[in-house]
């Protein structure tokens, strides 16, 4: 393996975000799960809406996918079939059955080559391909079950087709912004209020995240109480006003805000 | 008539890795046992409907990974829980020795009103026992926990353990409801069936404002 390849592989595997998967706080993992949530919301809105409606945390369904990088999730081994090594077999044009079962290895090839975005692509592909099936779910257990089932079957066996059918990702710039914002939120533990935050993000209040984070660090509970009551009162529409308040540092006034909200101001 | 909060109580299974949490759950929800089950990654989830008196209660059970490295993910699920089974392996004293730490971790994240049962699992391996029943029972009593010894392998007490915890939750909530004019489901339950950890807590705070 040449130096260039080595560098590429190590960049793919040990890029900062992936490395953060396995630290005590698992910040990278939590963030990536939220990023996936945003991606699904953008690319597959029906699934995103269902997940929100049922209140399923992405951690619940994709932790294993992300932590294990799809090992033990998607098919790994081919040798049992024909005793031929997949890569060679494909090059020599041996029967298709012999090369079709090594989806994980194929994913890892792409992961080494292109970096951690592959993790999202695979997840999105799985979800997109089985969108109708997932949308049949009516409860949390249903969802858990569906997400387990979509990693099985003929679709994931055909690794080449599988890897080529990934949906086009939204712009890298968007991803980067969302990633940074979500990461700071996750770090500060603000994600409990995800409903509010999501609507704020949609309304373009993203630039407030720094302020929010400092609020939350100062007093998580108080902040979430406020946010909660805002959400309940449907203050979403006022998010522009809120934004300017937030910018002005209205933290001390949050109790007042709360009572205003309650009073319907 | 049960409120929606009460009818889907969520219970967490916690304890060291390898004590048999996943098998306890699979025995309870599917009547299955696996000899070579793998370590749980993150959190798994299962439900089962049980009858408490005349009421059907659909319990949501969260099976958490015992490994320290997943603590960042698993602790999020303590928050919405109204009940917990703190499991140790009665053939491995080390898993019992750290029970106190688990308890602290649970109370750090969960409601103070959470119903906790200490469960000594693998009671079928009586010849290899390292934790005397009385010692564990005393610990449970001193800390206000329920206590049972179970075997996921031969099904001993598995049903009883879950049902006792659910019954206790049920009674606790009913009692609180009688004592207060406010809807107590707010403090004990979780609106989205435990999916939004902390929602119960936040609501309670909202009200006290």
pLDDT digits (tens, 9 = 90+) for A134-149: 999 998 888 988 999 9
DSSP codes, A22-57: GSTT-HHHHHHHHHHHHHHHHH-HHHHHHHHHHT--
Whole-angstrom distance, CA of residue A204 vs CA of residue B12 = 37
Q: Which among A95, A235, A203, A108 has a CA at the least distance from the CA of A163?
A: A108
Partnered with residue B85 across adjacent β-strands are B13, B117
Say if residue A224's pLDDT is above 70.
no
Mean pLDDT over residues B148-177, rounded? 92
Query: Is a pLDDT exceeding 90 seen at residue B84?
Result: yes
Does residue B121 contact residue B152 with C-beta atoms inside 8 Å?
yes
Contacts of A29 in chain B (CB under 8 A): 72-73
Query: What is the mean pLDDT of the segment spanning B138-164?
Result: 96
Residue A162 has a pLDDT of 73
The pLDDT tens digits for A156-181 are 777 777 777 665 555 556 556 666 66
Q: What is the pLDDT of residue B140?
A: 96
Q: Which two three-digit tokens encode residue B35?
A: 């000899």
Sign of CA dihedral A151, A152, A158, A159: positive
Query: Is residue B59 within 8 Å of residue B47, measured between CB atoms?
Result: yes
pLDDT average, residue stretch B73-94: 91
User: Is B147 in contact with B85 (CB distance < 8 Å)?
Assistant: no
CA distance A62 to A32: 10
A127 touches A47 (CB < 8 A)? yes
Verify whether the Cβ–Cβ distance A26 to B192 is below 8 Å: no
In this prediction, residue A182 has a pLDDT band, given cuts at 50, 70 and 90, of low
Express each pLDDT in B12-71 by its tens digit.
999 999 999 999 999 999 999 999 888 898 888 888 999 888 888 889 999 999 998 888
Residue B122's pLDDT is what? Answer: 96
CA distance B190 to B9: 8
The interface pTM score, or ipTM, of the predicted complex is 0.72
pLDDT given at position A203:
45
Cα dist from B179 to B4, B85, B182, whole Å: 19, 27, 9
Task: Check residues A197 and A19 and name the one with the higher pLDDT.
Answer: A19
> Is A59 strand, coil or helix?
helix
**Distance between CA atoms of A55 and A140, rounded to whole angstroms?**
8
Interface mutation vs chain A, best among B4, B200, B206, B208, most A CBs within 10 Å: B206
Percentage of chain A lying above the pLDDT 90 cut: 9
Nearest-by-CA chain B residue for A26: B72
What integer pLDDT is reported at residue B52 of this predicted model? 85
Q: Do A141 and B42 touch (CB under 8 A)?
A: no
pTM (2 decimals)? 0.69
Question: Which pLDDT belongs to residue A10?
Answer: 62
What is the Cα–Cα distance from A250 to B134, expressed in whole angstroms?
56
Top residue of A20, A23, A25, A26 to mutate, by most chain B CBs within 10 Å, is A26
**pLDDT tops 80 at residue B132:** yes
Question: How much is the pLDDT for B199?
Answer: 41
Residue B55: in which H helix or E strand, if any? strand B55-64
Helix (H, G, I), strand (E, B) or coil at B59: strand
Q: Which residue has the tokens 């079709």?
A: A100
**What is the sign, positive or negative, of the torsion defined by CA atoms of B159, B161, B162, B164?**
positive
């Amino acid at each position: 393996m040449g130096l260039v390849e080595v560098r590429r592989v190590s960049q793919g595997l040990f890029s900062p975000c992936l490395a953060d998967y396995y630290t005590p706080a698992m910040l990278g993992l939590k963030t990536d799960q939220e990023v996936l949530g945003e991606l699904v919301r953008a690319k597959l809105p029906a699934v995103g809406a269902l997940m929100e409606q049922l209140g399923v945390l992405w951690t619940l369904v994709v932790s294993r996918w992300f932590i294990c990088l799809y090992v033990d999730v998607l098919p790994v081994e081919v040798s049992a079939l024909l005793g031929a090594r997949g890569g060679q077999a494909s090059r020599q044009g041996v029967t298709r059955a012999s090369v079709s079962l090594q989806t994980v290895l194929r994913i890892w090839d792409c992961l080494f080559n292109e970096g951690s975005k592959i993790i999202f692509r695979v997840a999105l592909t799985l979800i997109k391909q089985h969108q109708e099936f997932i949308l049949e779910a009516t409860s949390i257990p249903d969802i858990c079950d569906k997400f387990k089932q979509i990693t099985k079957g003929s679709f994931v066996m055909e690794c080449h087709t599988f890897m080529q059918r990934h949906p086009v990702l939204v712009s890298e710039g968007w991803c980067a912004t969302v990633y940074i914002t979500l990461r700071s939120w996750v770090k500060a533990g603000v994600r409990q209020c995800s409903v509010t935050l999501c609507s704020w993000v949609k309304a373009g209040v993203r630039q407030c995240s720094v302020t929010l984070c400092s609020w939350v660090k100062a007093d998580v509970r108080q902040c979430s109480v406020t946010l909660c009551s805002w959400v309940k009162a449907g203050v979403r529409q006022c998010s522009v006003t809120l934004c300017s308040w937030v910018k002005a540092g209205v933290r001390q006034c949050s109790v007042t805000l709360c009572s205003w909200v309650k009073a319907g101001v | 008539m049960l409120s929606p909060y009460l009818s889907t109580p969520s219970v967490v299974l916690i304890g060291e890795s390898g004590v048999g949490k996943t098998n306890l759950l699979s025995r309870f929800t599917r009547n299955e046992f696996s000899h070579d089950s793998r370590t749980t990654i993150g959190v798994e989830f299962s439900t089962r409907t049980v009858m408490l008196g005349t009421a059907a209660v659909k319990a949501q059970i969260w099976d958490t990974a015992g490994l320290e490295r997943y603590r960042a993910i698993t602790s999020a699920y303590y928050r919405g829980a109204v009940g917990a089974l703190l499991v140790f392996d009665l053939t491995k004293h080390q898993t019992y020795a750290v029970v106190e730490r688990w308890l602290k971790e649970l109370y750090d994240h969960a409601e103070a009103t959470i119903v906790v049962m200490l469960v000594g699992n693998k009671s079928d391996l009586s010849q290899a026992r390292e934790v005397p029943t009385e010692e564990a029972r005393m610990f449970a009593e001193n800390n206000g926990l329920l206590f049972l010894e179970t075997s996921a392998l031969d099904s001993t007490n598995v049903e009883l353990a879950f049902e006792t915890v659910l019954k206790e939750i049920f009674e606790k909530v009913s009692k609180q409801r009688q004592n207060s004019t406010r809807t107590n489901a707010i403090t004990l339950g979780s609106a989205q069936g435990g999916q939004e950890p902390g929602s119960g807590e936040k609501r309670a705070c909202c009200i006290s404002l």
